[in-house]
Amino acid sequence: MQEKINHTFSIMADEINSSRKKLLELNAKDVETCDKTDIALFDRLHLDDSKIDGMIDALLKVKEKESPLGKTLYKFTHENGMLVENKTVPFGTILIVYESRPDVTVEATATALKSGNKILLKGGKEAKNSNLFLHQCWVNALQKAALEKDRVRYLNMDRTSFQAYLKNPDTPIDLIIPRGGEKLIAYVHSVAQCPVLVSGRGNNFLYVSEYADLSMAQNLIIQSKVSKISACNALDKVLIHKNISPQFKTDLQTELQNRGVAIIAASDDAVWMEEFLDMKIVLSEVVNTNQAIQLINKYSGKHSATIVSNDDQEVQHFMNEVDCAAVYHNASTRFTDGFQFGLGAEMAISTEKLHHRGPLGIEHLVTNKWYIKGNGQTR
């Protein structure tokens, strides 16, 4: 089976590459009707040759990875002679509800198939033309590889129809992964009859310690903010130790504003909690590392946080106490990504603690099952 799945990925890569002109034309139709004042939406939705190359690269990276199935997690020989083993198996059917990013249609499907699962795709309406075309590419690839086309289904439904579908699906669903706003996630939780693994908000923090290399800190802040504002791993909040020279904050504000970033005052809880997905940032002063940790644990999306410091003891304390899926030392939060973490591709970035935290690769889209072999034992 793995050989057929891997063959599917090769075919899918060829399908995308040979059809890139058509894909770009359909994507242009999607982009034409989107709200162009929403910079993050445009960035997620818009495809170009570089993004298409990224889809192909992800497919080939996942193809080369070892199957996560059938791995022995635990093995025990009972005193009565029974062999007791716990092994990895697929979830079964995964439903992913995702934002208007056509590349998710490729990456999520690849991770699901490689881990032995079927997948139901429900993409944002803004990317409808792009997603339907990419789904057809998957159907073509599966059929050419002699696999069932219903391993990948696209739910082409409006919101009302989809809500009805969630309450009464036409096939058993074993796991739902909602990627989107808090209202969507709350609704899925309210109707789901299976486990829900949330890919929640980012709202990532960076703390500039009094022991920081300030040149490094400034570069990390700027690049983490402006390199891709539509990403859930982008930076939104900066905490600066009170002992740092005011000139650092002045220079930082100037550099950010020169790049079109608005400095927002953290006037209330709503601002502290908000994931901006925009050219906005909060700069705030803290009295010590513990206050920084408290603010991060209270307001962040539990996605990613980083400390800029050259004090090893302080760094260890920060990384142990901050409650996020990924914690960084002297590095950008923008690295929280399945491809960057060596997973090849990702289904989502989980901000839950069960069943897995952080980027979800093929290794994390499995569950486990007990296999017991005996020769007539009774209890």
Q: Could you report the per-residue pLDDT of 172-181, keeping only the tens digit for each?
A: 999 999 997 7
pLDDT confidence of residue 184:
85
For a pLDDT cut of 70, what percent of the chain falls above it?
100
Q: What is the average pLDDT across 141-160?
A: 96
* Mean pLDDT of the residues in the chain: 95
pLDDT given for residue 233 in this prediction: 96
- The residue among 7, 23, 8 whose CA lies nearest residue 132 is 23
Say what the pLDDT of residue 72 is: 98
Residue span(s) of the chain under CATH 3.40.309.10 come to 204-335
Q: What is the pLDDT of residues 39-52, one digit of tens each?
A: 889 999 999 999 99
Residue 355 confidence (pLDDT): 86
pLDDT digits (tens, 9 = 90+) for 236-284: 999 999 999 999 999 999 999 999 999 999 889 999 999 999 999 999 9
Kindly tell me if the per-residue pLDDT of 193 is higher than 90.
no
Residue pair 170/138 in contact by the 8 Å Cβ criterion: no
pTM for this predicted structure: 0.92
Q: Which amino acid is at 192?
A: A
Q: What does the pLDDT read at residue 156? A: 96
pLDDT of residue 157: 94
Q: DSSP strand E in 201-299: where?
A: 204-208, 235-241, 262-264, 280-286
**If pLDDT is split at 50, 70 and 90, which confidence band does 135 have?**
very high
Q: 74 with 87: CB under 8 angstroms?
A: no
Give the model confidence (pLDDT) of 304-338 as tens digits. Answer: 999 999 999 999 999 999 999 999 999 999 999 99
The yes-or-no verdict on residue 131 having pLDDT over 90 is yes
User: Is 202 a residue whose pLDDT tops 90?
Assistant: yes
Task: Match 């069960």 to its residue by tokens.
Answer: 354
| CATH code, residues 204-335 | 3.40.309.10
Which part of the chain is CATH 3.40.605.10? 2-69+89-199+360-369
287 Cβ neighbours under 8 A, 6+ residues apart? 241, 242
Residue 98 pLDDT exceeds 80: yes
Length of the chain: 379
Identify the pLDDT of residue 35.
86
Question: CA–CA separation, 131 vs 230, rounded Å?
Answer: 19
Confidence (pLDDT) at 312: 97
Q: Tokens 């009565």 correspond to what residue?
A: 80
CATH number for the 2-69+89-199+360-369 domain, one of 3.20.20.80, 3.40.605.10, 1.20.58.220, 2.60.120.260?
3.40.605.10
pLDDT reported for residue 253: 97
**Lookup: tokens for 139:** 């159907």
